[in-house]
Amino acid sequence: MKILATYNIKGGVGKTATAVNLGFLAARDGYRVLLWDLDPQGAASFLFRIKPRVKGGGQALIHGKRPVDVAIKGTDFENLDLLPADFTYRNLDLMLDEAKRPDRRLASLLAPLKRDYDLVILDCPPSISLLSESVLHAADLLLVPLIPTTLSVRTLDQLTEFVAGFNGHRPKVLAFFSMIDRRKRLHTQIAQDLPAQRPDFATAAIPALSVIEQMSVHRAPVTVFSPRSLASKQYASLWQEARERLKLPQPS
């Protein structure tokens, strides 16, 4: 079982859209996929038409009072399950602080699921926190969406330093441009220069298109309701790059 996390220090950069679309694409390819919506806002849960609620809240999961597998819900798509968000996730840092080895807690909770899933996708809230440390210890790959602006690029440098400071397990990092508008000179310039300077950049770039915003209307991945769109093609390319970085074997 491999674990992929869509993560960025900044919010509003396309983490959830990426997690939802890649989750669907991986499931469509035959992988058994679990998406864990760790954001208390519950956007991924909403898009998959699942109520953002876990019985006993996040505390029941973190403290082992409720097995993770009991909280998992099926989606409308074959091979794709969801562990829903819950508003109590806003206090996950406090819950983790009370747990033993909090930085390893997510990895410990997910370990029993390795027989049931080939891929777990963590849709993470924006922050640098105890939850972030637990995510980084659990993940094999951090998928980092970046809007091509100077401040966004700076957050990638901060994240890279954060990961480099870890002892032992360190996830791979794969950054990619999200919400890119090639009509803007700055977007075009950064999109041209930055990937040439860094080996941890994907070639796929997700455009700023209204079809992605329509996910909240259709409550489905854009790769479902608009499979021929440029956005869908770029998500498909990004999924292939992520799969290669994860070294996922072909599904059985």
Domain boundaries, the chain: 2-246
Tell me the pLDDT tens digit for each residue of 147-190.
Answer: 888 887 788 888 888 888 777 678 999 999 999 888 888 888 88
Percentage of the chain modeled with pLDDT above 90? 73
CATH class of the domain at 2-246: alpha beta
Quick one: average pLDDT of 30-54? 97
DSSP lists the bridge partners of residue 129 as: none
Quick one: average pLDDT of 42-46? 97
So what's the pLDDT on residue 178?
92
Residue located via tokens 């999109």:
191
For residue 43, give Cα distances in angstroms to 31, 67, 203: 23, 23, 26
Q: What is the largest CA-CA distance in the chain?
A: 52
pLDDT: which is higher, 151 or 122: 122
What do you get for the CA distance between the two ends of the chain, in Å?
13
Q: With bands split at pLDDT 50, 70 and 90, how would you rate the model's confidence at 100? A: confident
CA distance 175 to 195: 9
Least-confidence region, from 52-56, 183-187, 236-240? 183-187
Q: With bands split at pLDDT 50, 70 and 90, how would you rate the model's confidence at 239? A: very high
So what's the pLDDT on residue 150?
80
* Mean of pLDDT over the chain: 93
Between helix 150-164 and helix 185-197 the angle, nearest 10°, is 30
So what's the pLDDT on residue 139?
96
DSSP lists the bridge partners of residue 143 as: 6, 174
Residue 83 has pLDDT above 90, yes or no: yes
Q: Which residues contact 222 (CB under 8 A, 6 or more apart)?
A: 17, 21, 211, 212, 214, 215, 229, 231, 232, 235
Residue 84 has pLDDT above 90, yes or no: yes
Tell me the pLDDT tens digit for each residue of 209-231.
Answer: 999 999 999 999 999 999 999 99
Q: Are 214 and 206 in contact (CB under 8 A)?
A: no
Residue 14 has pLDDT above 80, yes or no: yes
Quick one: average pLDDT of 136-155? 89
So what's the pLDDT on residue 160?
86
So what's the pLDDT on residue 252?
77
| Phi and psi torsions of 89, nearest 5° | -60, -15
So what's the pLDDT on residue 113?
97
Quick one: average pLDDT of 111-137? 94
Burial class (CB in 10 A: 0-12, 13-18, 19+), 93: middle
Residue 108 has pLDDT above 80, yes or no: yes
Kindly report the three-state secondary structure assignment for every residue of the chain. CEEEEECCCCCCCCHHHHHHHHHHHHHHCCCCEEEEECCCCCHHHHHCCCCCCCCCHHHHHHCCCCCHHHHCEECCCCCEEEECCCHHHHHHHHHHHCCCCHHHHHHHHHHHHCCCCCEEEEECCCCCCHHHHHHHHHCCEEEEEECCCHHHHHHHHHHHHHHHCCCCCCCEEEEEEEEECCCCHHHHHHHHHHHHHCCCEEEEEEECCHHHHCHHHHCCCHHHHCCCCHHHHHHHHHHHHHHHHHCCCCCC
Pairing of strands 73-74, 80-83: antiparallel
Percentage of the chain modeled with pLDDT above 70? 100
